[in-house]
Structure formats: C-alpha cells, structure tokens
Amino acid sequence: MLQQTKTITIEENEENDQTTVIVEQTTVPEESLEIGGVKLTTDLPWYGNAFVLLLLVALLYIGKKTIDKWFEKKNKEQGR
C-alpha cells in the first residue's frame, strides 16, 4: 500500500490579519504478511504471523492426509 497524504488549507481574508492554517494527514502503511496474493493481517508481531501461517499450513496438511486416507479406504472397498 502506498502512502497517501491529504492536505487541508484554510485561508482567511487578506484584509483581516491574513490567517493560514494547513493540516496534513498521512496514512501509515499497514504491515502485513502477503503470500501469493493472500494478505494476513493479525496485528501481531512477525512471529505471531509466522505462527498463524504455520497453523494454517498444518491444517491444510492434516486435511489433505484425511482426504487421502478416505479415498484409499474407498478404493480398497471397491477393489473387493
């Protein structure tokens, strides 16, 4: 994300003591972990993000192994 800046300028009539007020607001880029177009924003330190990422990978691995076992069992039953 690129930094964005908004500026508000207020100027008073030059005949009345000429007052100028400038307010500048800059956004702070949000730090997050992005892999393959998937952004993980947890507001945790880097090791918190790494733990969440490892947890997600572990869940995917366990899910894949479970599905593999289910298909293996199904194929054995059909082979009888």
**Model confidence pLDDT, tens digit, residues 22-79:** 888 887 666 666 777 777 777 778 788 888 889 999 999 999 999 999 999 988 888 7
Contacts of 7 (CB under 8 A, 6+ apart): 22, 23, 24, 25
The reply to whether the predicted model has a pTM over 0.95 is no
What is the structure's pLDDT at 30? Answer: 65
Give the pLDDT confidence score for residue 31 in this predicted structure.
67
Question: Which stretches within the chain are classed as H helix?
Answer: 46-79
For the chain, how many structural domains are there in total? Answer: 1
pLDDT value at residue 36: 76
Both tokens of 67, joined, read 């599905």
Distance (Å, rounded) from C-alpha 52 to C-alpha 58?
Answer: 10
* Residue 46 structural domain: 5-79
